[in-house]
Structure 1
């Protein structure tokens, strides 16, 4: 199966399906390897990884497939320069960088043949990244889990705005996608691929606790919350932690009081320990469209069949 777009040509993948780099969920080889084998782009999440674990994971993915894969690096993470040293030495095929400026890394990775994608959340940053020389963009809308844009502008609007602002640059749309109809919608907006996060979180290969996956299945489309403004805002499934944060924010608690509460909860506790009450259950609004935990190969197959169905259902223009 192949769907050829500007993004698949750039990345050398068969399908315009990108797995989001999700801390812990794709911080080992299983999930990114499965997605790349299925024809999409698997992404290792380097954010929480120690250097030797990251190096081992890169080697495992390389040993498991000859297809492209990526590493996602939040540039604000502690030791980001050492991580970049490792990624450049390993000559990773694709880098997806976020939370920082692209001029910091572009030359060194282009010199070793790495394709560089940059995560943006608006037209101004998109234009600056393109001017700096990035090869493509990941555009994140307000529906996304993890770290959506502070503006919370929807993916529908932000994707179209960025596509119009940087004509000719390959764009990957991210936020709110869970099925093949969403993929069709993203391509109709002018994107060349869709990034799926929460859908792949609810997979057999995602390295998170079963309680986390079950929380995704229980969630409706209105069951996520954005909390932590001025602290690195996240979108997470509603639970006692988000209730406490919402109360503090709504009652005007000072920044330090909110920081203490925000810092006590961690994504690690949810992902590895299954703490669904006090952990950060980061997930997008698309959780409400997901009702099963499946193997990656089946998820990808379903996405393509749903995409075909969505295309066939569109009415023809009649003169």
Structure 2
């Protein structure tokens, strides 16, 4: 399968981002059942054996859905694979992706050409997370099919560059597939990402607050109760730039003023922090547009309806021409 074929298997160009300790096979299958690309991270499972169980559950679930579809579009799924040498599970998890012929592999933290080639050998598609132009150049040199542009405002580990700026920089070096990530919560946002030049929208935070999400209820409710200014950006918690729910940091006893001047990684290195890590939660800038906790399927249907409604009412050429005329 190539990326063009992938796009043809989706009702709208939306990828449900893989989220650590949030994504589940149930969420993935619910998204796929609505024609959207569901996903989960390999490292989100406790052991390689559990990862294989998830792969079996997902592949068998998709076979069942396709058998019952009666012509309804059922999307493929994706797995996020951390391909950095520091990941001790990388080789084994890659072997499982190959064994189960995972249609789309979302690679991150390194782009080894041999891993990309092995995924391509069975017909898989590789999209790689990037946060700047140099990351994109290295990934493309490794042979990936496309990139995920992680921009400022994305939940969890995030980029720091404005989405317009990063999209334009990557488009200068790459005319192939780009998925845009960062702060999107509606179907209109998906259409806007396409107008900006993206092929797919990569949506995560909006799906944390869903019934199938494995996030604790407190995190889901905190997202519902938060707005964009309740998101705290810091690289000091685990050593990488990330967006955190401010209220969860405060509830864990972390002094935000101290955190602002703490060197990267020092907080998570503290032994006492490990015990409360499960209560320190991430989210992106789109939280201010989230006010309920629907099922994944309900949310997917809402996003599709919003996307189609927005597509029916584009700015007309007449309006563009009128706006381009000099005033007076």
TM-score between both structures, scaled by the size of structure 1: 0.86
Q: Measure the CA separation in 2 of the matches of 1:86 and 1:75.
A: 14
**Aligned counterpart for 1:85 among listed residues 90, 95, 99:** 95
> Structure 1, residues 7-66: CA drift from partner, whole Å, max 9, x if none?
56335522211011001211x311111111110111021123111111111111111114
Secondary structure of 2:291's aligned partner: coil
Match of 1:276 in 2: none
3-state secondary structure, aligned to 2:303: helix
Aligned counterpart in structure 1 of residue 154 of structure 2, from 129, 132, 144: 144
Conserved 8 A contact 2:248-2:281: no
For residues 61 and 10 of structure 1, the distance between their equivalents in structure 2, rounded to whole angstroms, comes to 18
**1:317 counterpart = 2:326:** no
Query: C-alpha separation between the residues in 1 aligned to 2:184 and 2:196?
Result: 13
**Aligned residue among 231, 234, 238 for 1:227:** 234
Contact 1:216 1:290 in 2 (8 A): yes
Q: Supply the distance in 2 between the matched residues of 1:266 and 1:80 (Cα, whole angstroms).
A: 26
After superposition, the C-alpha distances for 1:203-257 in whole angstroms (9 at most, x for unaligned) are 111112111110110011211011234812221110252673632244x445675
Cα 1:12–1:105 change in 2 (3 A) is farther
What SS class does the counterpart of residue 65 from structure 1 fall into? helix
Q: Closer, same or farther in 2 for the Cα pair 1:41/1:108, shift >3 Å?
A: same
Task: Show the counterpart of 2:223.
Answer: 216
**Equivalent of 1:177 in 173, 184, 191:** 184
Unaligned runs of 5+ in 1: 1-5, 270-278
TM-score (norm 2): 0.84
1:286, distance to aligned residue in structure 2 (A): 0.7
Matches within 5 A, 1:148-297: 148-149=158-159, 152-167=160-175, 169-229=176-236, 231-239=239-247, 241=249, 244=254, 246-250=256-260, 252-253=261-262, 257-261=266-270, 264=273, 269=278, 279-297=279-297
Aligned counterpart, 2:37: 41
CA shift at 1:266, angstroms? 7.5
Residues 1:107 and 2:117 are matched in the alignment:
yes
Taking only aligned residues, the RMSD between alpha carbons, in angstroms, comes to 2.4
Equivalents in 1 of 2:61, 2:264: separation in Å? 46
Which stretch shows the higher mean deviation, 254-263 or 84-93?
254-263
**Residues 256-305 of structure 1, C-alpha deviations (whole Å, 9 max, x = no match):** 75453598158961xxxxxxxxx221110111111111112221121122
Between structure 1 and structure 2, the one with the greater Rg is: 2
